[in-house]
Structure 1
Amino acid sequence: MVAFHASALDGVARNPALPTPLLLRLLASSGGGPPRHVLQRAGLPEQAVAMIVTHPNPGARIDFATSARAEPAQRARLADDPSPKVRAALAYGPEWRDPRTVVMPLPDGVCARLLDDPDPSVRAALLDSPHLVPSFLASLAAHHDPAARRSAARAWRILAPDERSALPADPDPVVRRAAALWECRRDARVTAELLRDPKSAAEALRHGLLRRADAERCVAERTHPAAPAENPSLPADLVERLAVDPDEAVRLAVSLRPELDETRRMAIDFTVGDLDRGDGVRWVREGLADPEVLRRAAASAHPLLQRAAARSPHLPPDLLRLLARAEDPVVENLLSIHHPDTPEEVLMRVYARLGGTFSAWMAETHPRFPREGLAARYANHPDGNYRRLAVRDPAATPGLIERLSHDPEVWTRQAAAGDPRLPPRRLREVLHVPELASSAGANPALPQDEMAAVLDRAGVPA
């Protein structure tokens, strides 16, 4: 008897050609629950959604609640789920997703119901969610729950004037602090008050409007030495003092200030870590759709500003070309993740440098990753990481795909096992090879009777 490997079932669950009857059969299985891949497929039919939201295994419902591919209205059907863990998973939403994919938020009415959920973990998950739209957050300014009112401060820029006035006077001290941390950006008196509170002093030092005396005192005391270096209202002479501070982190923070010209910026003695992605450059992070911000950052010689700009999918063509020539591996990595028009030569350098799972993901998902001509260039390459690229070529023959399914490198064998040009006889063989079974199960050319046989051998009830 031919051995069966459980990973084949995982592959079948991912198979884009999985017929609806087998999909429903997988969903009907209980016990350990259906494979996660089948629960987080895109475009699930209504029959499948109906089975998932009533599945007896709460883990299955949680996997669906956190699917980035499901329609918001489909996930919203779990808002009244009997399990608070499921409702909390729904409230928070997907934790991981392709950076190029936008997660559609739940409807406001569903968010409001989850915010009034009787279980505190559900309410907390909703307020912690990164997927809430600013208009919904703003609607919480007068909510009865102080935690909701505190979250409303995140939408400070779009709050109505009366709401901006009410939150700093809120009866809850945490709400007042959250509002004050926004209000302090234009009110030096509020900043001075926050500086006396250890819980808010560092953030107030970074963003608050500083009086001269407060700025001098905080720079001299060095309680949070790098925080004032980021503050846009710090007097120019104190900026110059911090530019030669003995603390390397302080000098780096000064070098990232937006008002500096290039000559002054690059005269500062700063050091950038090889892996620092520039996530902390707030003025660039908040301006990733602003052409002027992107131009100032991308055209700078400062590596962290270039890296911060490389996270933007909105780079105009000239700035994209400029960053593509930066010869900075981190910039290239970020472009390949975030920008749909990253040049092919950059994508290939990233592919060669990183290899492994990331390169496979990029090769499969990036719209500009090359396809034509790869078989001729790489089918006989000494590096298996390149040989698997030959499988991507539309001109690759079934004979070449079969040959690559015997390749010494497992990544190459797996790529070939998942290709629909693999001859049927070989496809049936690799379905029973442990390291290839998952790829073969996901092969869209796998006959339906073979998919059904995988379910049979895995003990999935008919």
Structure 2
Amino acid sequence: MPIRDARDIEAAWAGLFVGIEALAAQPSMRKAWLNGLRHIAPADVLVGLLDVVDTSVVRNLPTEVVDAVIAHPDRRIRSRLAQTRRGMSATQWAGLIAGETGTGRSHLQWLADWRGPKVAEAQFERWARDPDPRTRLQALWFRGLPQEQARALAADPDPEVRAEACGYAWPHLDPARRAALVGDPSPRVREAARRRAGFDRPMSRTEFDALTSTEQWRAVPVQLLGRDLAEHLVRGGDRGLRRTLVDKNERLDADLITELAHDEDPHVRAAVAVRADVTEELRASISAGLPPDTPYWAVRWVLESHDDPEAMRRLARSASIGIRRSVAQARRLPPDVVDRLSRDPDSHVSYNLATCCEDAPAEVLLEVALQGEDGFVARDHPNFPRHALLRFADDPDPLRRRLALESPESTPDLAERLADDPDERVRERAAADRRLSPATVLRLLDSTPRTRRAALGNRQLPVPALVRVLRDADTAEYAAANRAIPVAVVRRLAEVARAAELSDG
């Protein structure tokens, strides 16, 4: 009997490829296969699919694939990786940036500055001392460059390195060294130095008005503003420029910052509240008047203080929601800070704690998991209280019932029962459970759309049925992500789909 079963399964998989070329000729079919297979294909197969499928949506992209994307000749493919990938190493970011020039490189440097890892001082020193100028440049692509290395790179023998280092090193250079850069033999260095020197000369309103719109937007974040220009920008004009001014220009007079704290635009007021140079009293007065739906973004100077326990203790008590949310994004936090943030009235603070902090407590993780569709991200945390979830099996709240299946003590009988739950969110979770019988998974293919999609990915789906849904354009994408598909079948199906996609392109 086992031999016959094995032969039947082999025959079923062989049936998938009967007339496969005709199926692959249909764009909807081959795209569905590719979109599903990208989630389960081995690294070498994914590398071969980079020209025909977007791998940036794959959650756990193998290192080999990331490296292949970084080296890929197509700029669009590299750009998608930079825009979406989290957790890349400094070396990978450096390789990605090195493949670009001009504004493309500047944009990637900006992304690396925000999303890249915090680089250790020792790594900066290794880069800065490397005999290859292309490697020395890498030290200038990440935040946190120490002053000593910045000054050394501003005197580098390579003009490209000197030019790049001007902006980083300028605040730490004496007048003689600044003058040397302004008069440097290299035109590129002279231009960079003179541009940076110009930021320190107060710009008047007349000079500002003579700039193009693009030049004005570039000047506002970094330029030392004359009093007449600063007052003009603060008290009128474009609200977008005011937001940029308060968000990025660190050289505003204190009285003008206070004036912006009363701006008609809540986004401007919110940006004032998270500046590093305002008092906690001002933060409190601003925060009390902000609309409940005010958006907040990560506060850079708070993120850069994550390794300072005392700073985290102080900032966790801030009246600014934006600052507290940024504190909660720290990978590690002192126990008393975790305790305070766990009791924060803002739900996004708890969410950030659950998704970013290794010290997030079980009760916060459970609370976040019960917040709705996005709450399930907390399940992957090592502190998630899986052994306390079985008690929810009969809870009237469907979000709690579905969590019961996350318990290691849950049984096949429970999975079978919840597969017929009146709430689709519970049925959807049960449909993906490997403890279901093949017959139940097969039955769930005739359920509602969300439940059917979950069942299509269940490894318990019988092979003949899996082959059938793989040959149907309406179900092929979710079926192609089923990890029960043998690697040999994945390889062959990917090859067929890729060949059809390239021949049609």
Q: What's the TM-score, normalizing by structure 1? A: 0.67
Contact preservation (8 Å) 1:76, 1:90: no
Residue number in structure 2 paired with 1:369: 384
| Residues 1:330 and 2:348 aligned together | yes
Distance 1:277 1:137 in 2: 38
Distance 2:229 2:107 in 1: 38
Distance 2:88 2:330 in 1: 17
1:192–1:451: structure 2 CA closer, same or farther, 3 Å change rule?
Answer: farther
| Residues 1:416 and 2:395 aligned together | no
1:192–1:280: structure 2 CA closer, same or farther, 3 Å change rule?
Answer: farther
Residue number in structure 1 paired with 2:88: 103
1:389–1:259: structure 2 CA closer, same or farther, 3 Å change rule?
Answer: same
Deviation string for 1:353-372 (max 9, x for gaps)?
A: 3x13x13x325423333222
Picking from 357, 360, 364, the partner of 1:346 is 364
1:381–1:142: structure 2 CA closer, same or farther, 3 Å change rule?
Answer: same
Picking from 466, 473, 477, the partner of 1:454 is 466
Distance 1:269 1:373 in 2: 38
Residue number in structure 2 paired with 1:295: 313
Distance 1:252 1:203 in 2: 22
Contact preservation (8 Å) 1:313, 1:338: yes
Picking from 58, 64, 76, the partner of 1:88 is 76
Deviation string for 1:279-338 (max 9, x for gaps)?
A: 164432444444454333211122232223223333322212111112112322332332
Contact preservation (8 Å) 1:137, 1:152: no
Residue number in structure 2 paired with 1:3: none
Distance 2:103 2:208 in 1: 32
Distance 2:457 2:360 in 1: 29
| Residues 1:161 and 2:179 aligned together | no
Distance 2:417 2:348 in 1: 36
1:275–1:107: structure 2 CA closer, same or farther, 3 Å change rule?
Answer: same
Contact preservation (8 Å) 1:374, 1:392: yes
Distance 2:386 2:331 in 1: 22
Structure 1 alignment gaps of length 5 or more:
1-18, 144-148
Contact preservation (8 Å) 1:243, 1:268: yes
Kindly provide the amino acid, as one letter, of the partner of residue 93 in structure 1: L
Larger mean Cα displacement after TM superposition, 105-114 or 260-269:
105-114
Picking from 200, 208, 214, the partner of 1:188 is 200
Residue number in structure 2 paired with 1:321: 339
Distance 2:48 2:228 in 1: 63
Distance 2:140 2:444 in 1: 55
Contact preservation (8 Å) 1:92, 1:129: no
Contact preservation (8 Å) 1:191, 1:204: no
Deviation at 1:113, TM superposition (A): 7.9
Kindly provide the amino acid, as one letter, of the partner of residue 69 in structure 1: N
Distance 1:252 1:210 in 2: 22
Residue number in structure 2 paired with 1:63: 54
Distance 2:66 2:116 in 1: 15
Q: Which aligned pairs between 1:43-442 and structure 2 lie closer than 5 A?
A: 48-54=42-48, 58-59=51-52, 62-64=53-55, 67=58, 69-77=60-68, 88-90=76-78, 92-93=80-81, 95-96=83-84, 102-104=87-89, 107=92, 111=96, 114-115=99-100, 130=112, 157=145, 160-162=153-155, 166-167=163-164, 183=196, 188-189=200-201, 195=208, 197=211, 198-202=213-217, 204-210=219-225, 215-216=230-231, 218-219=233-234, 224-230=241-247, 231-244=249-262, 248-268=266-286, 271-279=289-297, 281-353=299-371, 355-356=372-373, 358-359=374-375, 361-376=376-391, 378-431=392-445, 433=447, 435=449, 436-442=451-457
Deviation string for 1:339-380 (max 9, x for gaps)?
A: 233233333333333x13x13x3254233332223222x222
Distance 1:453 1:240 in 2: 67
Deviation at 1:240, TM superposition (A): 4.0
Structure 2 alignment gaps of length 5 or more:
1-9, 167-181, 472-488, 494-505
Distance 1:303 1:109 in 2: 33
Distance 2:420 2:470 in 1: 26
3-state SS of the aligned residue for 1:88?
helix
Distance 1:332 1:69 in 2: 24
Determine what percentage of the aligned residue pairs are the same residue. 25
1:240–1:375: structure 2 CA closer, same or farther, 3 Å change rule?
Answer: closer
Distance 1:132 1:67 in 2: 19
Deviation string for 1:35-57 (max 9, x for gaps)?
A: 4343234xx6xxx44444445x9
| Higher helix fraction (1 or 2) | 2
Contact preservation (8 Å) 1:418, 1:442: yes
1:367–1:166: structure 2 CA closer, same or farther, 3 Å change rule?
Answer: same
Distance 2:269 2:296 in 1: 15
Distance 1:244 1:427 in 2: 59
CA RMSD of aligned residues (A): 4.9
Kindly provide the amino acid, as one letter, of the partner of residue 333 in structure 2: L
Q: What's the TM-score, normalizing by structure 2? A: 0.63
Distance 1:210 1:122 in 2: 28
Distance 1:123 1:238 in 2: 34
3-state SS of the aligned residue for 1:189?
coil
